[in-house]
A and B are shown apart, each in its own frame.
Chain A
Amino acid sequence: MAARVLQWICRLALAGVFLLAGFSKVYPAGRAFSFEMTLSTYQLLPVWGVIVVARTLPWLEMGLALVLLLGWKPRYVVTFTALLLTLFMAAMGITYARGIEANCGCFGLGEPISPATLARDSVFLLMAIYLAAVAWQRPPAAAAAA
Chain B
Amino acid sequence: MFLKRKRLVMSIIRRVAGLAIVVLLAASLLPAQKPASKSAEELRPQCLGNPNAAVSIEVFSDHQCPACRQLYLETMRSVLADYGMPGKVCLTYYEFPLRAHKYSRDAARYSQAASRLGPMQWIQVADALYYYQPQWSESGEIEPVVAKALSEKDMSQVRQWLKDPKLEAAIERDLNEGTRRAVRSTPTIFVTANGSTERFTGVLQYPIFRRYLDNLLTR
**Chain A residues near B (Cβ < 8 Å):** 30, 33-34, 36-41, 43, 47, 50-51, 100-103, 109-110, 112
Contacts and interface: CB of A to CB of B under 8 A. Distances in A.
Contacts of B139: none
Given A101-B185, A112-B185, A41 B203 contact: yes
Interface string B184-196: 1111000000000
Contacts of B212: 33-34, 36-37
Contacts of B201: 41, 101-103, 112
Interface size range of chain B in the complex:
20 to 34
A47 B216 CA distance: 19
Interface in B192-219: 198-205, 207-209, 211-212, 215-216, 219
A110 B199 CA distance: 6
Contacts of A38: 200
A102 B202 CA distance: 5
10 contacts: A33-B216, A34-B198, A37-B200, A37-B212, A40-B203, A40-B205, A43-B202, A101-B187, A103-B202, A109-B199
Contact of B204 (A30, A41, A51): A41
